[in-house]
């Protein structure tokens, strides 16, 4: 897994433009949304959902940037018989390879916390994102797809693979540093030869200030 991550990082670095004499830009954002987590083991399904809030930040030089995010909240079953604290976050290295096309690599993680312990999921993934103006220059749509390079999870089953995607729209006020984003994301992980499938999906709304 480390070799695949190293190769992905090297490939993105090769695509990056020289950074000398380029201006550093940044942005901060805050928001929240809904999360639904579903675990399917054989014919037994467990689903929990709830609201999460958090923030994100970005530092960019030219066509290369790093962004990170963190959210937390509480999720529970529909009959309130089980409640878990929930947290997720990511840290990605991104490069705009072509206008409107971004390649990324990095880790994203989530945790389910109860009185009896914490279940942790850490994924390393490679991503490809496309963005296009819908109503230039104020509104743009985007789609991002990813595939896991490897993972570290503290569950009894063996990790097989994971994939996911994100689709949404960004809006920026004319001649303003303020911007907003609404999106839908989904990820699926398979364990023990697809005997167990984990699905996490959600809708988010984020408001930010600074360079996109």
pLDDT tens readout for residues 31-60: 999 999 999 998 899 999 999 999 999 999
Query: Could you tell me how far CA 113 lies from the centroid of its own chain?
Result: 20
Window from 76-85, 119-128, 138-147 with minimum mean pLDDT? 76-85
CATH number at residue 150: 2.40.128.90
Domain count of the fold of the chain? 1
Per-residue model confidence as pLDDT tens digits over 76-106: 998 988 999 999 999 999 999 999 999 999 9
Q: Is there a domain that residue 22 lies in? A: no
Band of pLDDT at residue 20, cut at 50, 70 and 90 = very low
Task: Flag whether pLDDT at 1 surpasses 70.
Answer: no
Instruction: Kindly report the three-state secondary structure assignment for every residue of 133-187.
Output: EEECCCEEEEEEEEEEEEEEECCCCCEEEEEEEEEEEEEECCCCCEEEEEEEEEE
The answer to whether position 184 is within a domain reads: yes
In a domain, 24, yes or no: no
Calculate what percentage of the chain has a pLDDT beyond 90. Answer: 77
Residue 113 lies in a domain: yes
Mean pLDDT of 136-145: 94
Residue 66 has pLDDT above 70, yes or no: yes
21, part of any domain: no
């Amino acid at each position: 897994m480390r070799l695949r991550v190293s190769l992905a990082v090297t490939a993105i670095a090769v695509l990056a433009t020289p950074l000398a004499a380029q201006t550093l830009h940044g942005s901060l954002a805050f928001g929240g949304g809904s999360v639904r987590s579903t675990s399917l083991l054989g014919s037994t399904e467990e689903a929990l959902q709830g609201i999460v809030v958090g923030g994100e930040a970005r530092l960019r030089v030219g066509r290369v940037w790093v962004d990170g995010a963190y959210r937390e909240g509480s999720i529970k079953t529909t009959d309130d018989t089980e409640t878990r604290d929930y947290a997720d976050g990511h840290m990605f290295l991104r490069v705009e390879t072509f206008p409107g096309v971004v390649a990324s690599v990095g880790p994203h993680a989530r945790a389910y916390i109860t009185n009896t312990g914490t279940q942790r999921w850490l994924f390393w993934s490679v991503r490809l994102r496309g963005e296009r103006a819908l109503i230039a220059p104020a509104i743009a749509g985007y789609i991002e797809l990813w595939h896991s390079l490897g993972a570290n999870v503290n569950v009894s089953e063996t990790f097989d693979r994971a994939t996911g995607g994100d689709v949404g729209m960004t809006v920026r006020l004319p001649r303003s540093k303020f911007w907003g984003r609404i999106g839908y994301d989904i990820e699926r992980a398979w364990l023990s030869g697809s005997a167990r499938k984990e699905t996490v999906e959600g809708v988010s709304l984020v408001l930010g200030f600074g360079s996109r």
